[in-house]
Amino acid sequence: MRVVIIGQGYVGLTIAVGAASAGHIVIGFDVNKELVENLNLGKSHIEGISDTQLGEFLSVGRFSASANPSTLEGSDVIVIAVPTPLDLDRNPDLSFVHSAADLIKQEVKTSALIINESTSYPGTLRNEIAPRIRGVEHLFASSPERVDPGNIHWGTKNTPRLIGGLTPAAVAKAREFYGSFCDTIIEVSSPEVAEAAKIFENTFRQVNIALVNEFAQIADALGISGREVLDAAATKPYGFMEFKPGPGVGGHCIPVDPTYLAHVANEVGVPATFIKRANEVNLAMPAYVVKRVVAGAGGSIKGKKVVVVGVSYKSNVADTRETPAAAIIDLLREQGASVTWHDHLVGTWRGEASSPINAADIAVVVTKHDGVDVTAIQACGYVFDCTGSIAGVDGI
């Protein structure tokens, strides 16, 4: 099949490589010209896809990147994989999805299967995408992406794929497409079920992370180790699933997607109380971390040299979107500390460069990547670890 993927970020490039590996001719379309140039030079920008892998598909003509909208025409399959963030008022921002749909309407005059993989609330395919692409008899399906960047056990091939279509023909064609590179296809009765399943999965994580974050605070106040309690509870072989506390939630999914569900819940008059409360708890974690750091460092951090270790939102990825490290650094600075950060994967961020750990007065470990110098962290005067992976120091 000739496949065009709109958006070549974490999701789009991952799917592009999956589809190319199945023998399809894939064009990765993106509005970011620099990204397109780099992809065509065989430079991958995401973990899990190597330059070598990309180079191999480029050399045999199974993958190419383009910023030219005319490449959309003549495709069998068009996949939408663009951002679905929150706006400044924390409401769903579907502007990227809308512009992708408008682009298809403008450029594509022959029938294709149009799939939305971007995460959004139920009704997005039917009400926000399909009506904008009238005039050609396209097939429409929703297959929300579940990729977990950096996860070496679960990838595009072995993560079961949900499909919901506007018509049985759309479902059949989507099954044919995904069946060529995914092991397990699960058809659901409508696109709305597929869309809702994805945001419920992320809401489940958001709420449970908030629960353990709150519990970690209760346990600390009681003078017991929250992590030891959670590990002990996890020995129960049924009816319990272990989540780990941390400095908050980050990335493009867990802090964002539940609010999409809350938005539609609000529209149909059902209060999404768990989502609201979980957001409050998770967003308050940076302040809790800084409060503990100040207390642990003797009541004041004014003038102290603080290094924040790991600023991406999770280990072994360079993604800093929605990272709690941002609020932690800002709050530490508000307390008068002189703050640098260290993250060899991120390199530069918010106009600042990664600094060495260098025996600071205080180290706050937000994220711990493989290969980080733990001895250098332990050489700092006071260490607060949000990851639960450094023995013998304070932390969550």
Q: How far is the CB of 117 from ligand NAD (least distance, A)?
A: 6
- DSSP character at residue 312: S
Query: In this structure, what are the phi and psi dihedrals at residue 35, rounded to the nearest 5 degrees?
Result: -60, -45
Q: How far is CA 113 from the centre of its chain?
A: 26
Please report how close the Cβ of residue 325 comes to ligand NAD at its closest, in angstroms.
17
| Closer residue to ligand NAD (CB): 99 or 355 | 99
CB of 106 to ligand NAD, least distance (A): 11
Helices 273-296 and 324-334: crossing angle in degrees, nearest 10, is 40
Is the CB of 299 or the CB of 347 nearer to ligand NAD?
Answer: 347
Instruction: Output 87 or 373, the one with its CB closest to ligand NAD.
Output: 87
Using CA atoms, how far residue 122 sits from 94, 119, 350, in Å, is 13, 10, 34
Backbone angles phi, psi at 307, to 5 degrees: -115, 130
Long-range residue pairs from 328-332, CB within 8 A, at least 24 positions apart, any chain: 328/247, 328/286, 328/289, 328/290, 328/364, 328/366, 331/286, 331/287, 331/290, 332/290, 332/293, 332/301, 332/306, 332/308, 332/364
Shortest Å distance, C-beta 58 to ligand NAD: 18
Question: Distance between CA 330 and CA 350 in Å, rounded?
Answer: 12
Spatial neighbors of 64 by CB under 8 A, at least 6 apart, are: 26, 27, 28, 40, 58
- Residue 56 CB, nearest approach to ligand NAD (Å): 22
Q: What is the smallest separation between the CB atom of 274 and ligand NAD, expressed in angstroms?
A: 20
Task: Please give the residue whose beta carbon sits closest to ligand NAD in the complex.
Answer: 9
Report the catalytic residues.
Answer: 253
Question: How many angstroms separate the Cα of 56 from the Cα of each of 6, 25, 64, 161?
Answer: 21, 13, 11, 26
Q: How far is the CB of 93 from ligand NAD (least distance, A)?
A: 10
Q: Which is nearer to ligand NAD, 209 or 216 (CB)?
A: 209
- Report the residue number, 79 or 307, with the smaller CB distance to ligand NAD: 79
CA distance 318 to 334: 26
**HSE toward the beta carbon, residue 292, CA cutoff 13 A:** 24
Nearest CB to ligand NAD, comparing residues 5 and 331: 5
Please state whether beta strands 161-165 and 139-142 pair in parallel, antiparallel, or not at all (unpaired). Answer: antiparallel
Cα separation, 269 vs 263, in Å, equals: 10
How far apart CA 332 and CA 10 sit, in angstroms, is 31
Residues that bind ligand NAD (CB under 6 A): 6-12, 29-32, 35, 81-84, 96, 99-100, 118-119, 145-147, 149, 251-253
Q: Classify residue 86 by its DSSP letter.
A: B
Which residue, 206 or 340, has its beta carbon nearer to ligand NAD? 206
